[in-house]
Structure 1
């Protein structure tokens, strides 16, 4: 299998960092909000032990906790208070608390979680909504990544960087701290829960971590495929992702305009019961369009008048070449070129080896396949074969810049890198 000569691998390795932690609710045995005054559970015992402490001992212990952890988190005392507020119903059963007691109890019901200790992979890339400070002839970008920590729980994290006029790439330093957002709205609907979360403006974008919120996401927010969507001059960033309970999957949608506030909504319809959906960056003939894989093997084109309802579809790409005989899937939203829609695909071959290929779809009728890559654009090199899942290269979305495709990609479900592809050479190589 030949490596594409028009593809250049960078050396911008993004590796998981176990030192990056967030605080998460700690729930011993019974969830505290479910307790009643007669329950004698571990949670109740913890609260009673704190209340039995001498006030000065309580104050000294809280000060010691703050000294030990303060430099690891933003506004840690506020996090303790917020956790105590979440437990208000349970705490009310124990009488009156001082503010110091409440804060210390909040600390006992939190734990640190190293959200990217195991892996940092499956990236997608979009232009930054704020292009101030971008290099002349270049642009700023936002990179989304799937982070995996203890228990194989997946969350969504971000990086920023720049592309220079000549196509050279740089990734900005990562913030020392990491934080989860506040939930500002959560409602239940017939298809599941819709959630709105927001971060504070002073939190650097690399500090922002979207952790599973709903039951459908409880084991992971996986493989977000971000796209800058244009509609009548208005730009919105959407990302389809896989919500995973540990037993079942379904497709959901993230929406944001600023990467500060996010809305997560379940998708409805027969096509939303699988993974790997990717939204076109604009409407086609007045309809939303999506690439999806309902049958775990082929790629389908689906149209819809409703962004949240997806049914039916037409199979447009099937496994054709040996490196994709097992299955094919999309590797992010189609990229609009003069020649048509460039769709990056993944193929699975012998010994479950993953490679990245491409197809060119007609701009006016994307059901027409104009060309395909006979050989992969990218396949695991010897140095990229080892990791949590061996023999895999994968991406959740690339981006055009001038005459190049900027392709962030994951290596063996462990860490990430970038590659650049010359568009003209890619078009000549497809048949």
Structure 2
């Protein structure tokens, strides 16, 4: 009998989901960006007012119905451009300001290619629910033009009867806005648009190290030793030529800190943070050599090096490599670590390992057979035969699993925790 019970819901790519992003002339001709930008501004300023007003009206007629607060976005973009160019806005008319902002923006379909590799945490707001239900936040890797990955979100409710109700996708999506940074530690702060919901919000790359994507956020609800709660996730920042692991931190899902980490361990993908300190130290699971899993320890959330080998491929379905599938889940029996293995024909499958609660370097048991692999109707997509998750959630005595299919879409399943534990040896 299958351990995981699949649900019918799917989250699929949707080219109609668009946001407004800054249009950077420097992408078109490096070294000429300033002069081209200044010339573009001069061209708009050279219009007579009637022509400028007509041009703005045409833009708004074309795009206003597709975006939230579009005039505010154009006005903000105008201010950014004039600050970058060191120009004085002076007595420029409002239509020309908005039109200049429009010329330096473009529409981007952030999930045209894929939605995949989800993680899940409890929502900060649990009001209005019965004691057996939980409101959730899903993080999603959205992939658009140029294979640029961003972080999107979806809210929902998991019921006691292993049911899932997803919040409908809003008609508009908005980019998180750069609020601060980078500072001396290369941290940047981005904020959700004040009039948007979390399910409307998309976090895009904002630093050179992230330029080609924010990939595979592994989100967890972290409880600090003083009892305070913070939502922390690790993700892979991809510059186009190099990768490194970074942190996303938030207290309210309105303001987000994107923070690089230091140390030899962060030059790898797929780090997953334990949801609390263990024996006074922060712990992570990572794959430092591309094949095996290591336990990492640190006194500082932002500094990670070394590591102790705890898991190597053992069974045929994971001979190529194993990796973590998100932050460990605390149970009475130990830390439940979901894993993925890669076998023949590069087929991915999910398994599980149980780590000692007080000494996570000690492996108590693991599954000899996969718990979940792509069913026949799930195999096709951008990368066939892949099932992958960046984090599951314990809901009472069940495990709620959102998972990516073929690097293309997201599916959902439930399993009884006791059944998973019983399969381990």
Q: TM-score range, shorter-chain basis?
A: over 0.9
CA-CA distance at 1:188 after TM superposition:
4.3
**Alignment RMSD, CA only?**
1.7
2:293 to 293, 299, 306: 299
**Alignment correspondent of 1:15:** 12
CA-CA distance at 1:45 after TM superposition:
3.8
**How do residues 330-345 of structure 1 correspond to structure 2 at under 5 angstroms?**
330-345=324-339
**Alignment correspondent of 2:274:** 280
1:362 to 353, 356, 379: 356
**Alignment correspondent of 1:24:** 21
1:142 to 131, 137, 142: 137
**Alignment correspondent of 1:206:** 199
The whole-number CA distance in structure 2 between the counterparts of 1:167 and 1:233 is: 29
The answer on 1:215 being equivalent to 2:212 is no
**How do residues 238-387 of structure 1 correspond to structure 2 at under 5 angstroms?**
238-387=232-381
**How do residues 229-244 of structure 1 correspond to structure 2 at under 5 angstroms?**
229-231=222-224, 232-244=226-238
Worse overlay, 133-142 or 264-273:
133-142
Worse overlay, 168-177 or 21-30:
21-30
CA-CA distance at 1:396 after TM superposition:
0.1
> Which 4+ stretches in 1 moved above 4 angstroms?
30-34, 93-96
The whole-number CA distance in structure 1 between the counterparts of 2:399 and 2:219 is: 15
The whole-number CA distance in structure 2 between the counterparts of 1:213 and 1:348 is: 32
CA-CA distance at 1:182 after TM superposition:
1.8
How many corresponding residue pairs? 421
Mind listing any 5+ residue stretches in structure 1 that lack a counterpart? none
Q: TM-score, normalised by structure 2?
A: 0.96
The whole-number CA distance in structure 1 between the counterparts of 2:17 and 2:89 is: 35
The whole-number CA distance in structure 2 between the counterparts of 1:74 and 1:129 is: 25
Secondary structure at 1:187 match in 2: coil
Mind listing any 5+ residue stretches in structure 2 that lack a counterpart? none
Worse overlay, 71-80 or 145-154:
71-80
**Alignment correspondent of 1:422:** 416
1:395 to 369, 375, 389: 389
CA-CA distance at 1:243 after TM superposition:
0.1
CA-CA distance at 1:96 after TM superposition:
5.5
**Alignment correspondent of 2:160:** 165
**How do residues 151-190 of structure 1 correspond to structure 2 at under 5 angstroms?**
151-189=146-184
